[in-house]
Amino acid sequence: MIKTFLDKNNIDAHFDESMKKHTTFKVGGNAMCIAMPDSIEKTAKLIEFLKNNNIESYYLGNGSNVIFNDNGFSGVIVKSLNLNNINIDGTIVKVGAGMLMTSLSKAVREKGLSGLEFCYGIPGNVGGGIFMNAGAYGGEISNKLLSVEYIDENGVLKTINKAECEFSYRHSIFMKNKWFIVSATFDLEEKDSAEMFAFMEDIMQRRKDKQPLDKPSAGSSFKRPVGYFAAALIDECGLKGLTVGGAQVSEKHAGFIVNIGGATCADIVALADKVRQIVLEQRGVVLEKEMIIV
Ligand SMILES: Cc1cc2nc3c(=O)[nH]c(=O)nc-3n(C[C@H](O)[C@H](O)[C@H](O)COP(=O)(O)OP(=O)(O)OC[C@H]3O[C@@H](n4cnc5c(N)ncnc54)[C@H](O)[C@@H]3O)c2cc1C
């Protein structure tokens, strides 16, 4: 039934697809189907179809903050990859959810537009960035945002203003609603492109120096607890190198759990739980996972 619908509507899709291919942690079982519509209309139609036919679904960006269960996913993953158009009008930039944050930061820098430089090096796309309110080096994606277009649970296209998005540290309204983000509109500031380039190169170098970018991961495994840094707490507890199966607390950056080869979702969850427990016992601080387990 779903195959006929996807074929009829000319929606790119793969069946029995390994989620290892779609996540930066490179773990997880197979999804029954992953669909990648290339227009808002097709996305809306698909979401309406899934709802009307009671088919389970999950919305995916670039898979840099999610880990899929080893048993896989029995429904349809809707991935924003092909919604990646960009329109720049003066300082106003409207961009599809599927554009990578790094590509967006480069595209606007080339136009002398500032406000998204910090996105350079974050491996997610715009939809995933808005959902997570991604941030780094003093910036957050919500800072220069005007509004977000999304498809609601009934397949209806809607727009929400930034003030209504309930943004806070790694949090947005999208976390409590089954809404598919299709685009975001930003109002940026004019700035010298060379100055931005230097800053972006500098933060990329800092990432390369500090982060284990040579190993699959989902970035920081835990959110920053108020008044502390998760990586420092984990390091102080002597947990660098702690390993469960193929999952390891990075030797380079204690805030990252990395896949050192053949890690399963169960390995990662068990290691994260172990880290949380030890940090709670030794330092009395509760760590909350940043990565999302599906
Ligand atoms: C090496 C590395 C470095 C990182 N550095 C940073 C950093 O500096 N700062 C930071 O904030 N994060 C960082 N991250 C984590 C990650 O890149 C961010 O959380 C990013 O915002 C996730 O985007 P994504 O497109 O990959 O989303 P995904 O991982 O695909 O999804 C994340 C969540 O968003 C939801 N979602 C995704 N797209 C949509 C959509 N279109 N509509 C509705 N819901 C959607 C998903 O359902 C999921 O719940 C890093 C990760 C790695 C691997």
Per-residue pLDDT tens over the stretch 119-146: 999 999 999 999 999 999 999 999 999 9
Confirm or reject: Cβ of 64 under 6 Å from ligand 1: yes
Q: Is the pLDDT score of 248 beyond 90?
A: yes
* Cβ atoms of residues 102 and 121 within 8 Å: yes
Contact 137, 118 (CB under 8 A): yes
Euclidean distance between CA atoms 115 and 275, whole angstroms: 35
Q: Per-residue pLDDT for 285 more than 90? A: yes
Give the model's confidence band at 293: pLDDT under 50 very low, under 70 low, under 90 confident, else very high. Answer: very high
Question: CB of 255 closer than 6 A to ligand 1?
Answer: no
290 is catalytic: yes
Determine the Cα–Cα distance for residues 152 and 149; give it in Å rounded to an integer: 10
Mean pLDDT over residues 205-217, rounded? Answer: 97
Would you identify the CATH topology of the domain 2-79? 3.30.43
Q: Which of 38, 40, 43, 60 to mutate to test the pocket of ligand 1 (most atoms within 8 A of CB)?
A: 60
Structure tokens at 219: 């970035």
What pLDDT does 1 receive?
87
| Mean pLDDT to the nearest integer, 242-267 | 97
80 CB less than 6 Å from ligand 1?
yes
CATH topology (fold) of 86-195: 3.30.465
CB distance 59 to ligand 1 below 6 Å: yes
> Looking at ligand 1, which residue's alpha carbon is closest to its atom 20?
124
End-to-end CA distance of the chain: 24
Verify whether ligand 1 is closer than 6 Å to residue 131 (CB atom). yes
CA distance 5 to 258: 38
Does CATH number 3.30.310.80 belong to domain 212-293?
Answer: no
Contact yes or no for 44/151 (Cβ under 8 A): yes
Q: Is the CB of 218 under 6 A from ligand 1?
A: yes
What pLDDT, on the 0 to 100 scale, is given for residue 261? 96
The answer to whether residue 224 is catalytic is no
Side chain identity, residue 85: N
| Active-site residue, from 220, 221, 250, 276 | 220
Q: How far apart are CA 238 and CA 67, in angstroms?
A: 25
Q: At what angle do helices 101-110 and 193-210 cross, to 10 degrees?
A: 150
Distances (CA, A) of 102 to 122, 231, 235, 289: 6, 24, 29, 24
> Is the pLDDT at 108 greater than 90, yes or no?
yes
- The answer to whether the CB of 76 is under 6 A from ligand 1 is no
Report the C-alpha gap between 135 and 150 in whole angstroms.
21
Which residue type sits at 54? N
pLDDT averaged over the chain?
97
Q: Is residue 105 annotated as a catalytic residue, yes or no?
A: no
- Separation of CA 182 and ligand 1 centre (Å): 15
Task: Give the start-to-end residue ranges of the domains of the chain.
Answer: 2-79, 86-195, 212-293
125 alpha carbon – ligand 1 mean position (Å): 7
Question: Could you tell me the pTM of the whole model?
Answer: 0.95
Q: Which of 57, 114, 147, 170 is catalytic?
A: 170
Cα 292 to averaged position of ligand 1 atoms, centre (Å):
9
User: What percentage of the chain reaches a pLDDT higher than 70?
Assistant: 100
